[in-house]
Amino acid sequence: MFSIRFQVSAILVLLSGLIILLPDARQSSGELNVPGMLEVMNESGQFLTVDQVARMVVYEDTSILLVDVRDTEAYRAVHIPGAINLPVSDILNPDWSGYLDDPVVRPVFYSNGNTMAGEAWMICTQKGYTGSYIMKGGMNEWYREVMESTFEGERITAADNATFEVRYRARKFFNRMNSTPDSLKTAFLEVKRKKEDDLVGGCE
């Protein structure tokens, strides 16, 4: 009969040959496939309105993380308070996956409009970072609704009153934040590499 060396060798060669047929690990771990994507893409729950975001900003909601996917210059010029800057071209950098794949804190992508935020949402969702949002309308909508809208009418309802209260406070917060000198803003730009710190091992 065959020796153990022969058996172990044969099995190892066979298995290592077979795993060549396996799909790339990086692509399949936790990722969504076509039916999965089609399902989540048609859900309306992926959007937050600017008023919802304004409320979260004003009440310092820690269950979301605003992610500005525009380029760094645009972010530096003006951004929503509390947002971090992960340009969409760099969104898959593994350094950021700690932010995007957080089971508790859900990212809210925004850009000037919907396009870039939508790109970030698509790419991240397909990667398996599910549960992220898009701020519908982006910064343009934010300006239109939160920054520049005024109440026009005879009597203000309680709901409207609450909305405008939040908008007013978000406005103040936003203006104060974006009026700070650039040197202070860059402090927020230095996003920490969240996951790298957790990786320990070897004999170090």
Nearer to other proteins by Cβ, of 154 and 178: the residue is: 178
Within 10 angstroms of residue 83's Cβ, the number of other Cβ atoms is: 22
Rounded least distance, CB 1 to other proteins, Å: 6
- Reduced to 3 states (helix: H, G, I; strand: E, B; else coil), residue 161 is helix
Q: Is 139 exposed, middle or buried (0-12, 13-18, 19+ CB in 10 A)?
A: buried
CA atoms of 1 and 110, how far apart (whole Å)? 67
Rounded least distance, CB 38 to other proteins, Å: 6
Nearer to other proteins by Cβ, of 154 and 197: the residue is: 197
Please give the order of strands across the beta sheet that includes 133-135: 47-48, 133-135, 106-110, 64-68, 84-85
Nearer to other proteins by Cβ, of 53 and 88: the residue is: 88
Rounded least distance, CB 168 to other proteins, Å: 7
Rounded least distance, CB 111 to other proteins, Å: 6
CA atoms of 25 and 29, how far apart (whole Å)? 6
Nearer to other proteins by Cβ, of 55 and 127: the residue is: 127
